[in-house]
Structure 1
Amino acid sequence: MLEFTEFEHTDRKTLFVEVILPLSISKNYTYRVPFEMNNAVAIGKRVVVQFGKSKLYTAVIKEISELAPEKYEAKYIIEVLDNLPVVTPHQLYFWQWVADYYMCNVGEVMNAALPAALKLASETKIELNKEFDIDRSALHDKEFLIVEALDIQPELTISDIAKLLGQKTVMPILKLMFEKNLIHISEEVSERYKPRKRTFITLNPVYNNPDNLRELFPILEKRAPKQADALLAYIKLSRTQKAVSKNELIEESGAGESSIKSLIEKEILLAVEKNVSRLHFEEDLDAITNFDLSDQQTEVLESIGRQFLEKDVTLLHGVTSSGKTQLYIRLIEEMMRNDRQVLYLLPEIALTTHIIERLRIYFGADIGVYHSRFNDNERVEVWQKVLNNDYKVILGARSSLFLPFNDLGLIIVDEEHETSYKQFDPAPRYNARDAAIFLAGMHHGKVLLGSATPSFESYHNAKTGKYGFAELTERFGGVELPDVEVVSIATETKQKTIQSHFTSVLMAGITEALANKEQVILFQNRRGYAPVLMCKICAFTPKCINCDVSLTYHKSSGKLHCHYCGYKEDSPSICPACGSTHLEYKGFGTEKIEDELSLLLPDARIARMDLDTTRARNSLQTILNDLEEKKIDILVGTQMVAKGLDFSDVTLIGIINADSLLKFPDYRANERSFQMLAQVSGRAGRRGKQGKVVIQTYDPFHRVIKQVIANDYNDLYYTEMAERKSFKYPPFYRIINLDIKHKNPEILYNQSVYLANELRKHFGERVIGPESPLISRIRNFYIKSVMLKFEKDGISIVKAKAILKDVIVQFQTTKLSKGSIVQPDVDPY
């Protein structure tokens, strides 16, 4: 099924290649191969082709044959770009599966799978690599012309460069320039992944001789007493720890940076810059690399090994800070001993840099990292290294599923419950967790799903025996789970003990933590300053001109923002509807929490971590560094703070308003609320001291909050599953959503009703809708949703999808469908 035989070429044989274009078209195109390229074409190689009147694209060869297309005359391919294939047969098969399962076109999968530099097209934009010192004397004439043109105009399209050089195809030239690191693909130019560096201080070996030190001290004490203090501080610190950082030495000596700089210039002290973990700097590296598993961890590891003999997928359910990562490391080591590849999937790569650094300590050059914070040159480099089997372990976000693995023995899906594994827009709208299971099966590999709060689908599969199951019930090192206290906002409001949005219990906890020089994380699941600006007289609320949502006020910009399309407008001082000046802000986001907390605690060092504060280059790393180095006392954040943060001095977690999670109209609301509250709570007290969590809510007796306090996942699971079975929701039923979009709401209504009725002819009561979603207009497109529920038994989901596809195609051939967009979403939640 996965083996492709090499096509036998002869010089004068007329060959045709079926290619995948990076476009949303339902069929692949076939092109003719010029005789002189017969020996150059191969499955998985990239070719330059013309599609449409004039546009050029990079396509991937899927099949080679001598059969010409029947319906159209085949154009010639223009160029073969590769000496060796860059896409493997496994990948082509995987792309087709993703396209079939998630009801999209294989070109859309290719677009998501390949780094931009591997799919150049006419309108692709090129810019110079400013980090590279270009030797212009070594450039060929055409390369020199391109570099000179980019000096004048920093960004050019491939079409522009073709006109500049006076030739149709320039992609081979640009490919060569890209390989030489001369240019960037500008759509993908993003910040380069930079490991955190720290300066460490050591004593010049000359002064290991005590006599030399004794001679030095009197001179320093007389001429530079601050330098003498710094040297004494170094000797003191070096007796108790293996590595002394420059920052520690400055703090311990009180001598200032200039004194230490002088000692380095005199070569008394030596400075060495090293890459270090962004988190857990205080840990001894020997302890990290030579850890011993606890008895329970050892038992669970053996259990996973036994279950992998019978099951392809095993779920590891382990409480927060139970040492799941240590088990992952042992499993990776075993795969490497067997010379097989491992993919370690993480939901939020930017927030888990400590895992990157920790695994690099273990596996060194054998581990590669692949995620969106890499520029395109780095992505292509990782792609080639995986293709050549130079990397045995890949750590990455969901897109790393598409790398060219040769022999994938294990996929670890960490925090498998996370919604970040689901791609929402654009297509393919795939779930990386589910796609990973298929991918591992193709390679005859295994999958380990890990989570403290598993998704109900995975837990159900484990409970019914489809997956293996292992459980870690103890925190590593015997640390207790945090103490959870629930506070009623309504009661404290009546008693007038609440200050702004902070109850007396939370304020007392914050004050105590600060007094003990400990750190606090506050969680509010909404960014911005105030979600709604409202007129007190007529209740007017400013709305986005493109979407059916109210605008959120951001104090930092002084503007109203739409969080769906990015539209901004000035905040009015007079009501546009009634002319009143009585406008007030309703609700609160992270920005307002930060602002009001700084008034209540003026001496506290407060920072905010949300989408607004982490947009800029290196801003996220700066926040994490400052928190780890104790430059931040209180961190206010959205759900970003729930993922991957692990700091020894964070002892208090405050959840400002749990109701925003619990009161959401979605059948997964309780599951997601429990997951979020449990994950946020798990950030507290992870190093030797029991932490505390304060949950503020208007409904302290809510069932989910009680389950969070008791850490009773099973009670939540069985309660929710009974409801899901009754109301036909996953995991008992499969769901496919259809979003129909149009700029005219009346036409959209008629289109959606017609489409739903056509579907009912085939699927009857399984079709629900059309309904307007919560946000019924985004970017000037009105939306109607049709939901299809398919039982797991008694119906072929493959046949159902085929019928659904036919109905959509038939609808799109009618005049009624003009101007509409139909977007299927398989397993949408």
Structure 2
Amino acid sequence: MYAQILLPLAVGTTFTYTVPPELAARVKPGVRVVVQFGARRYYTGIVTALSNTPPEGAGQLKAVSDVADNTPVVLPAQLKLWQWISSYYMCTQGEVMKAALPSGLKLESETTLLRNDDYVPSAEEPLTPIEADICRVLSADKGYNILAIEKALGQRALMRPIRHLMQLGAVVVRESMTHSFKPRTEAYVRLAPALFTEVALHLTLDALQRAPAQHALFVNYLDMAGVTAAVKLGNAQMLKPVTRHDLCHAPNAATALAALKKRGVLEVYAVETSRLRPSVAERAGQDAPMLDKPLSTEQQRAHDEIVAAFATKEVCLLHGVTSSGKTEVYTQLIKETLARGEQVLYLVPEIALTTQLTSRLERVFGTQMGVYHSKFPDAERVEMWQRQLTPEAFPLVVGVRSSLFLPFRRLGLVIVDEEHETSYKQQDPAPRYHARDTAIVMAHQLGAKVLLGTATPAIETYHNALSGKYGLVRMAHRYGGVELPEIVVEDVKELRRKRLMKSPFSPRLATEVRKAIEGGGQAILFQNRRGYAPVLECKACGWTPRCTRCDVSLTYHQRLGKLVCHYCGAQYSVPTQCPACGGTEMRDMGYGTEKIEDEAAKAFPDARMERMDLDTTRSRTAYERIIHRFASGDTNLLIGTQMVTKGLDFDRVQVVGVLNADQMLGQPDFRAYERAYQMMSQVAGRAGRRGSRGLVVVQTKQADNPIIDYVRRSDYEAMYRQQLAERQAFGYPPFSRIISIYLKHRNDAVVDHAARHLAALLRPHFADGMLGPDRPVVARVQMQYIRKIMLKVPLQFTPTSVRRTLLAARDVVHGFDVYKSVTIYFDVE
């Protein structure tokens, strides 16, 4: 038997291996196998196909070393989706596999492992000698890869015992430990088997008379476990499980338990508990269900129209203004889908949004709901993946774009909330897919429906809805009759000319924020740039420090006391002297969220403020803490980047300030105005969601810009018409497809020549639809010089023909020795 194996590598094909007879019964499509690739490296691959005949021209083939699963971990539908992603987004299936599978499911020779010192071996499943040797070699803080372990032990083929140790929780992947993950185990106490007789119990109790603490603890255990009744009936199965926590709540109980263990009276053993939403069952019954209530008249109408649209169309757009109650409509549709025995995937753009949304949805769906995103430790993602393959699979999964890759057997509905969000587009590394579009393809392949929801649809989505490709349902009013917020535009240029603005806050914004806080309300300040100051500058000559690896100026982070490159992450000391002129006075230019926080502390001394940006939300618990404190009223002023714009629902927000609208309007991107409108409208939608009408203050130097006027009037239709006319005039989506080609190399001249060569090959095919090659705004990142070619591909060109042309041209360029080391990749749509 011959197996086609997909490996998690950026190679354009699968590889053929022979299947030894002793493994043949277990090898089937979708299972993981361990194979040798190259001289000494081992990888976990996925079997994609089996054959009884060798491929044509096959030479000496290697054999499959081991089989990791008894049943497939990747379903045929998933392999089909991976193939489509690979083809459409022009990457390899191995890159898709690498992105799709959690690290724990794709063990390889280079995987870095650590010993988990919290693991307690159980009497039922002791470690084998080789497993004990592996644990002895490993360290709890220094990672070792599998090759190093094999070398230290003088043995080969250790993948199987290492995989078993990972299943036990004795060994973890380094990635897990960097997220402070420890396998969730709970210690239980049980009676030593030799004491399970009335005589032995009486003798033990007599022997413990001289140790009162041990005697008391032992009697307590006998009562909790129901030992007396179980012994009388001779049925050990009647013993109730007793946790160490429940038994040792009294003072000195832990010392007594240790002594009883030493005497051989009691045993302590570990039981691994599920990592998946351990608190759902506890919290499901708390509070009144926020979303489990009858729909309003408008919500019911929207629900009925969506159901009617699904009768004839696979995709429907729900265009509802902010706070119109779209989530309640989603909830009703989810209930109906689950009642039919089908699964639902609920996609959200940001981890921050899952934090608030899941606490609301779990009150309705309880343990039916699972959550999946990249901030979870790897072991938790592995367990989620494996559970979705079983009959106990979560019928409702809430997650970010990576949850698309989970296995679904009965998918009936996909909800893409805030479908316009840029977070749905993966940038680096490959696959550079768009989760919204991929979800539509996946649903089509599985026979499911897709509901796209937003207050500010993407231009392409709205165009598809108006043209009849998608269904379209509108919700034009806020829930409960609450008015949309009043939006006020403050002309910063004019205020500064009159010297009325001496801080980042206009007088009107400062007054309104102060009034809201004093009245028991809350406010949000939106500044879409983190750090303290975007630029540090020499006051004498204007020199600014720049990254030595990237062509960008460094951002000053005051809390860190460093200059940081936001492209490569490099950190630099703050210069005390200008290297250009010798000057010693450096001034910070512009405002980041850190500086806004400092200025807000001066302007609003009574505010209880918090900052939400990438620097303060490195872990999932950080998101949860910030959002929980603001939602509960512990804080009343939230300062943040675009994270605060993404569908968060707070009751008491009365004022929202957009501090620098010009930054969004000035981006060198044909979608800049569309995205600026979406971002400002979304953050404005956080105001006045309950009760009185909210206020939004937009600060800008371009008060006469039409986009600012559309935001002020909340006029999406006008923005859409204006942008669509521009797109049509210049041949941008939805009237074409955009494919960007990036070339990178450490030598500027080499990448420049390679880009010109590639452009010459493509120009006959795309003519005026090709822009470039040119230097992007940031033309060097991590010592790699960059060139970019943009293609506006006519809609009549098929994706297959375009892919064939582009890959052929890339192969021609790579055929020259001087260009072989040039990285060339494609970013579609």
TM-score, scaled relative to structure 2: 0.85
Q: Offset at 1:733?
A: 0.3
2:66 corresponds to: 79
Query: How far did residue 132 of structure 1 move?
Result: 4.4
Q: Which residue of 1 aligns with 2:322?
A: 320
Q: 1:31-80, CA deviations, whole angstroms, 9 ceiling, x for partnerless residues?
A: 11112212121111111111111100001001111222414321111111
Shift in alpha-carbon separation, 1:604–1:277, aligned structure 2, 3 A: farther
Instruction: Tell whether 2:811 aligns with 1:809.
Output: yes
Q: What does 1:498-513 align with in structure 2 at a 5 Å threshold?
A: 498-513=501-516
* Structure 1 match to 2:226: none
Write the mapping of 1:380-399 to structure 2, written as runs, cut at 5 A. 380-389=382-391, 390-399=393-402
What residue number does 2:89 align with? 102
> In the alignment, which of 105, 124, 129 is matched to residue 141 of structure 1?
129
- 1:126 is the counterpart of 2:129: no
1:487 equivalent in alignment to 2:490? yes
What residue number does 1:361 align with? 363
Q: Please name the residue that 1:68 is paired with.
A: 54
Q: 1:617 to 1:457 in 2, by over 3 A?
A: closer
2:785 counterpart of 1:782: yes
| 1:91 corresponds to which of 78, 89, 103 | 78
How far did 1:275 drift? 5.2
The aligned counterpart of 2:753 is 750
Does residue 113 in structure 1 map to residue 115 in structure 2? no
Residue number in structure 2 paired with 1:465: 468
Aligned-partner residue type, residue 782 of structure 2: R
Does 1:606 pair with 2:593?
no
Answer whether contact 1:423 1:431 (CA < 8 A) is retained.
Answer: yes
| Range moving further from structure 2, 90-99 or 387-396 | 387-396
1:147 Cα deviation after fit: 2.5
What's the TM-score once normalised by structure 1's chain length?
0.85
Question: What is the CA–CA distance in structure 1 between the aligned matches of 2:501 and 2:139, rounded to whole Å?
Answer: 60
More off after superposition, 117-126 vs 156-165: 156-165
Whether 2:350 is the aligned partner of 1:309: answer: no
- Structure 1 partner of 2:171: 183
Partner of 2:147: 159
2:455 alignment partner in structure 1: 452
The 3-state SS of whatever aligns with 1:382 is helix
- Residue 138 (structure 2) pairs with residue 150 (structure 1): yes
Partner of 1:213: none
Deviation at 1:284, TM superposition (A): 8.4
Q: Confirm or deny: 8 A CA contact 1:17 1:31 kept in the other structure.
A: yes
Which moves more between the two structures, 384-393 or 154-163?
A: 154-163
The whole-number CA distance in structure 2 between the counterparts of 1:552 and 1:318 is 38
Please, which runs of 5 or more residues in structure 2 have no aligned partner?
A: 183-277
1:336 corresponds to: 338
Q: Tell me whether 1:716 sits opposite 2:704 in the alignment.
A: no
Distance of 1:159 and 1:420 partners within structure 2:
37
Give yes or no for contact 2:550–2:783 (8 Å, CA) kept in 1.
yes
CA contact (8 A) 1:192 1:373 kept: no
Q: 1:296 to 1:193 in 2, by over 3 A?
A: farther
CA distance in 2, matches of 1:367, 1:170: 37
The equivalent residue for 1:247 is: none
Cα distance in 1 for partners of 2:280, 2:71 equals 37
**577, 582, 585: which one aligns with 1:579:** 582
Offset of residue 537 of structure 1: 2.7
Residue number in structure 2 paired with 1:762: 765
Residues 732 and 278 of structure 1, relative CA distance in 2, 3 Å threshold? farther
2:37 maps to 1:58: no
Task: State the 1:483 CA deviation.
Answer: 1.1
CA contact (8 A) 2:416 2:451 kept: yes
Deviation track 1:688-743 (CA, whole Å, cap 9, x = no partner) reads 22111111111222111111111100000000000001101001100111001111
Name the amino acid aligned to 1:182: A
**How far apart, CA to CA, are the structure 1 residues paired with 2:802 and 2:140?**
56
Instruction: Indicate conservation of the 8 Å contact 2:425/2:433, yes or no.
Output: yes
Q: How does 1:142-541 map to 2 (within 5 A)?
A: 142-151=130-139, 154-189=142-177, 191=179, 285-288=287-290, 290-389=292-391, 390-541=393-544
Structure 1 residues 144 and 347, CA gap change in structure 2 (3 angstroms): same
Letter in 1 for 2:60: E
In the TM superposition, residue 767 of structure 1 has moved relative to its aligned partner by 2.1
The AA in structure 1 aligned to 2:135 is V
Name the counterpart of 2:649: 646
CA RMSD of aligned residues (A): 2.2
Cα deviation, residue 165, structure 1: 4.2
2:418 partner letter: E
Distance apart, 1:133 and its partner CA: 3.9
Partner of 1:16: 2
The C-alpha deviation readout for 1:254-310, integer Å capped at 9, x for no partner, is xxxxxxxxxxxxxxxxxxxx959999x9x9833525411111111111111111011
Structure 1 contact 278–625 (Cα < 8 Å) conserved: no
Give the distance between the partners of 2:279 and 2:132, measured in 1 at CA. 37
Tell me if structure 2 keeps the 8 A contact 1:769–1:786: yes
> Match for residue 219 of structure 1?
none
State the shift of 1:138 in Å: 2.5
Name the aligned partner's letter for residue 821 of structure 1. T
Do the aligned partners of 1:191 and 1:617 also contact (CA within 8 Å) in 2? no
Contact 2:34 2:43 in 1 (8 A): yes
**Cα offset, 1:568, TM superposition:** 1.3
Cα deviation for residue 321 of structure 1 reads 0.8
Residues 336 and 174 of structure 1, relative CA distance in 2, 3 Å threshold: same
2 CA distance for matches of 1:757 and 1:708? 43
Aligned with 1:824 (options 803, 806, 826): 826
Aligned equivalents of 2:682, 2:709: Cα separation in 1: 15
Distance 1:130 1:599, change over 3 A: farther
Structure 1: segments with no counterpart, 5+ residues? 1-14, 195-273
